[in-house]
Each structure stands twice: as C-alpha cells, then as structure tokens.
C-alpha cells in the first residue's frame, strides 16, 4: 500500500501518522495563565531533543475539528513556564480524563483528581503523583502552520528535575528502568506500558565498529533460517572470529554425525542451532557453531 499523504483529509493524516509513529512518550504539561489559572493536559507529540542544553519539545496542535488553539498553548504564550510530568501506568486513566476539552479556566488537577505540589523555580504546580517531573522555561514557540492539525512546538529548557526515590536503583544513582512503568500513546485509543516483562537490552555497538553484515560469510548472509536480528548480532563483532580449538559442544557433534550424508540438511540444522544460541544472546557460541560447520 502506498499512501500519498496530500490526498488524505486532516483526520486521516493524523490517524495514519499516529498509528505508525508510535509508541510516543506522554508529557503531562502543567501551565498557568497571566491571571494564575492552572491547566493540566497530556501531549504525546513530545520528546527530548538535546541534553546539553537540556531541551524538550511538545506540541499542542491547532484543533483539527475547528482550528482553535489549546489552552496549554495560550498559557505558555502568556507565562513562558511549564512543568512536564512523566506519565506512568498508575496514572493512565486520570491522564486520559485530564485531556477532556474542559472550558478555559477549568483546573484539570481538580477534574482529574491530582494533587498540586509547588515547583521550586517556576510558577505552574507539579503533579505530586508523577514519579518524574521537569521544571522548564519555555524558550520559543514555533508554529508549524495556521490550519487545523498544525503543530505548535513548545521548545522548553529543563531547569530542575525531580525523581521519586521509589524508582531509583539499589545504589540510588539512576532511575531503575524496570521500576518506572512508563506509558506511551500509539494510534487511536491504543497505549502501551513498559514493565520488566517487555524490556530488553541491546548491546551498544558504538564503542568499537562491528564488522557489518556485508562482511559475513555468504552462507550466513543468505541463510533461510537466520533472521535480520541474528545477522545484526553476528555482524556486531569487532573482527571476524576464529575457530576456537577448545570449543566442544555435544549437540553440534550429534548434528555432524546424524546429517553427515546430507550437507544441505546439516547446514539447516546448524543454522537452527546457531539461531537458538543467538536468541539466548550467546553470540560467541553461535559463531563457533557456524565456523565449525564451515570447517567440516
């Protein structure tokens, strides 16, 4: 399916992009107008774009429905400060409630049942229940257009960060990624939740250069068994591994014995075994299995 974006209605554009560009973290923005009225609303057009200076951007878009602007945008244009609260699973239903289009002047802290906590250097209050909050100064508001759906980028510099002790690691030196159950927005009404069961680690490749998929032996590169992820793991070694004479493996011996009359079947079994090892993260053993097969 090929989609020419310009042929879509604004509602369709939004839906296709939001389903595909996901999951998006959720900024729960607390702002205040010049008369001191507080507003609290969630925005998933949000991310960090610089760590030094520490800059985050979120986008209260012009409404697709009637091309009006959001109270959050109006507020930051009046008082250039925002507290960005990070949303976790314990808050998701109240966060969604706070997104209702209440009339200007309605305090969504009260409507959604959150507790105000004074910030230390900016005027808008923080959400006490949020486990991470950023006190920010709005540096610039950049409009991306005048039509319904046009993003209005709120570019904000983080001044102070608050982190709840309950989500720190045992040493108290960093956030424990398994303890902060982030939620994120996808397309339509879909959300996802981060927890220990769906987190995984991918080793950082950028300390030394990986040899690259193009440097893998042709028999591995063209394997019908090994996946793109498996090739990525194998090609992340810094130099082509050598056969390790001390490497012994019962299962490999059995494969050699059993399939000695059929080289094609043997290669298939060896790739299946290497894939098993790679899926468990054992790249060194997988390489030895593949190299041993090449040496038969």
Ligand X SMILES: Cc1cc2nc3c(=O)[nH]c(=O)nc-3n(C[C@H](O)[C@H](O)[C@H](O)COP(=O)(O)O)c2cc1C
Interaction site with ligand X (CB under 6 A)? 26, 39, 41-45, 59-61, 70-72, 96, 99, 101, 185
In whole angstroms, how close is the CB of 2 to ligand X at the nearest point? Answer: 27
Comparison of 26 and 122: residue with beta carbon closer to ligand X: 26
Comparison of 69 and 276: residue with beta carbon closer to ligand X: 69
Q: What angle do CA 212, 215, 217 make, to 5 degrees?
A: 130
The alpha carbon of residue 248 and the mean position of all alpha carbons in its chain are separated, in whole angstroms, by 40
Query: Is 158:117 a contact under the CB 8 Å cutoff?
Result: no
In whole angstroms, how close is the CB of 18 to ligand X at the nearest point? Answer: 9
Comparison of 25 and 277: residue with beta carbon closer to ligand X: 25
* Distance separating alpha carbons of residues 219 and 295, to the nearest angstrom: 12
Comparison of 16 and 259: residue with beta carbon closer to ligand X: 16
Nearest in space to 30 (alpha carbons), one of 132, 107, 143, 121: 107
Comparison of 59 and 223: residue with beta carbon closer to ligand X: 59
In whole angstroms, how close is the CB of 127 to ligand X at the nearest point? Answer: 14
In whole angstroms, how close is the CB of 294 to ligand X at the nearest point? Answer: 52
Per-residue b/e over 237-263, b at no fewer than 16 CB within 10 Å?
beeebeeeeeeeeeebeebeeebeeee
- Residue 235: HSE in the Cβ half-sphere, 13 Å Cα cutoff: 16
In whole angstroms, how close is the CB of 141 to ligand X at the nearest point? Answer: 13
């Amino acid at each position: 399916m090929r989609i020419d974006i310009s042929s879509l209605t604004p509602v369709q554009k939004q839906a296709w992009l939001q389903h595909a560009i996901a999951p998006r973290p959720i900024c729960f923005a607390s702002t205040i107008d010049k008369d001191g009225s507080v507003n609290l609303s969630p925005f998933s057009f949000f991310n960090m774009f610089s760590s030094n200076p520490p800059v985050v951007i979120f986008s209260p878009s012009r409404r697709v429905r009637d091309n009006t602007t959001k109270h959050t945008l109006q507020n930051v244009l009046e008082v250039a400060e925002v507290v960005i609260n990070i949303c976790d699973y314990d808050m998701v239903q109240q966060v969604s409630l706070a997104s209702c289009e209440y009339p200007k002047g309605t305090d969504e802290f009260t409507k959604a049942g959150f507790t105000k906590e004074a910030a230390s250097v900016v005027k808008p209050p923080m959400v006490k229940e949020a486990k991470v909050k950023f006190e920010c100064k709005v540096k610039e508001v950049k409009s991306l257009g005048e039509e319904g759906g046009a993003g209005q980028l709120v570019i904000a510099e983080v001044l102070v960060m608050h982190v709840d002790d309950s989500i720190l690691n045992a040493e108290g030196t960093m956030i424990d990624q398994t303890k902060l159950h982030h939620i994120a927005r996808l397309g339509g009404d879909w959300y996802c939740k981060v927890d220990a069961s769906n987190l995984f680690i991918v080793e950082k490749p950028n300390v030394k250069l990986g040899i690259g998929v193009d440097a893998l032996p042709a028999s591995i590169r063209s394997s019908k068994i090994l996946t793109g992820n498996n090739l990525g793991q194998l090609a992340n070694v810094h130099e082509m591994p050598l056969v390790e004479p001390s490497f012994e493996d019962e299962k490999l011996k059995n494969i050699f014995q059993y399939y000695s009359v059929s080289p094609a079947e043997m290669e298939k079994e060896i790739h299946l075994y290497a894939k098993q090892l790679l899926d468990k993260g054992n790249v060194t053993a997988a390489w030895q299995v593949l190299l041993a097969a090449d040496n038969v």
